[in-house]
């Protein structure tokens, strides 16, 4: 690694991976995107355009990036950022083992709480760190990726201060010594991903509705009860303690927006990544979110019926292949 920049490969560059990779390239790092051919072709033709809800608009020329679907590009990386969905973690780990240098640092920037352990199990002897991406990115086609919500990436600090070297003007990274707690904190927030996917409406519109907020609050309370039984430590994603969040979500609309409206920095058209998966007829990560709560509850002699119901509804939507089903809160609770 050089003092000035790092060679970074985004392993499985989808919406989050392309946005993060573009920000790193804009900040001077040498970035390769290991992505599907259609993503590589779009960026090669149009460049990589990054926009944000706060007005950011940046075009990264294609010649500033290495684009390929060939895992051989992993060989040149100092750092490998893993951004595949949870179901593809084992496969990408095997590609890293086969093609990346032994001294390359792998970092999981994935949803869920199980992927980091799986990467470490399949990459013995290598440095594998955890990370957490709090924001949502929408793919708008033609190499255009739009950041629709706020927050800074959190990286596990292994005393090398890699987070400092990866931080760039468009993408701040913060350190943590408790990445497991951070990931559980994000999982609690990410329980809304499935609700938003089932609703089919923008996140801002969904959170403006007390009926939807009460459904999310009940789901969070159910998950927090299970986590307490499992003695899981949670690092809050916001300044609000997780135990207080369900109470605040249940407040009447006027009081909710008076107290929390300013911290909900969400693009008017933002939707969850799981909504995008259903819209594009792809497999979702519901098993890495609500599914984790269901399994953890069973391990401790409990039940999580609301999480069970959401998992079943998302799987049914996947099987139909007709996109987000447009359900209402009463239909989800039924």
Which pLDDT score is estimated for 158?
86
The tokens of 161 are what?
A: 């201060």
What is the per-residue pLDDT across 86-100, written as a single tens digit (0 to 9) for each? 999 999 999 999 999
What is the per-residue pLDDT across 32-83, written as a single tens digit (0 to 9) for each? 999 999 999 999 999 999 999 999 999 999 999 999 999 999 999 999 999 9
Which pLDDT score is estimated for 2?
43
Cα–Cα distances in Å, from 307 out to 15, 33, 186, 195, 221?
Answer: 26, 35, 16, 10, 11
The tokens of 228 are what?
A: 């307490």
CB 167 within 8 A of CB 6: no
* Whether CATH 1.10.1040.10 fits 181-333: yes
Confidence of residue 241 (pLDDT cuts 50, 70, 90): confident
Which pLDDT score is estimated for 262?
62
Inform me whether the pLDDT recorded for 172 exceeds 90. yes
Name the DSSP letter for residue 135. S
pTM of the model: 0.92
Closest CA to 240 of 227, 267, 259: 259
CA distance 60 to 194: 32
Q: Which CATH superfamily is domain 7-177 in?
A: NAD(P)-binding Rossmann-like Domain (3.40.50.720)
Confidence of residue 152 (pLDDT cuts 50, 70, 90): very high
Start-end ranges of CATH 1.10.1040.10 in the chain? 181-333
Start-end ranges of CATH 3.40.50.720 in the chain? 7-177
CA distance 191 to 159: 32
CA distance 26 to 118: 31
């Amino acid at each position: 690694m050089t003092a000035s920049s790092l060679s970074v490969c985004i392993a499985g560059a989808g919406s989050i991976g392309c946005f993060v990779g573009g920000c790193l390239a804009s900040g001077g790092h040498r970035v390769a995107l290991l992505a599907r051919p259609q993503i590589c072709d779009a960026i090669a033709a149009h460049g990589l355009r990054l926009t944000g809800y706060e007005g950011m608009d940046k075009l990264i020329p294609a010649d500033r990036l290495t684009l390929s679907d060939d895992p051989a590009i992993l060989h040149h990386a100092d750092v490998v950022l893993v951004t595949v969905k949870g179901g593809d973690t084992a496969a990408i780990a095997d590609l890293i083992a086969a093609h990346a240098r032994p001294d390359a640092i792998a970092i999981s920037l994935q949803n869920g709480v199980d992927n980091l352990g799986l990467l470490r199990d399949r990459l013995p002897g290598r440095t594998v760190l955890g990370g957490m991406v709090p924001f949502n990115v929408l793919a708008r086609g033609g190499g255009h990726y739009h950041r629709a919500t706020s927050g800074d990436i959190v990286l596990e600090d292994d005393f090398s201060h890699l987070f400092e070297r990866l931080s760039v003007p468009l993408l701040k990274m913060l350190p943590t010594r408790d990445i497991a707690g951070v990931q559980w904190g994000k999982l609690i927030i990410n329980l809304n991903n499935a609700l938003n996917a089932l609703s089919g409406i923008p996140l801002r519109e969904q959170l403006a509705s007390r009926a939807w907020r009460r459904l999310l609050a009940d789901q969070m309370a159910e998950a927090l009860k299970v986590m307490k039984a499992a003695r899981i430590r949670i690092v809050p994603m916001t300044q609000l303690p997780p135990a207080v969040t369900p109470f605040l979500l249940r407040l009447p609309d006027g009081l909710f927006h008076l107290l929390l409206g300013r911290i909900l920095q969400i693009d008017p058209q933002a939707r969850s990544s799981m909504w995008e998966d259903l819209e594009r007829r792809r497999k979702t990560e519901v098993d890495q979110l609500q599914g984790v709560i269901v399994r953890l509850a069973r391990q401790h002699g409990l039940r999580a019926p609301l999480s069970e119901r959401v998992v079943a509804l998302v799987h049914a939507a996947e099987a139909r292949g007709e996109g987000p089903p447009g359900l209402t809160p009463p239909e989800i609770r039924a």
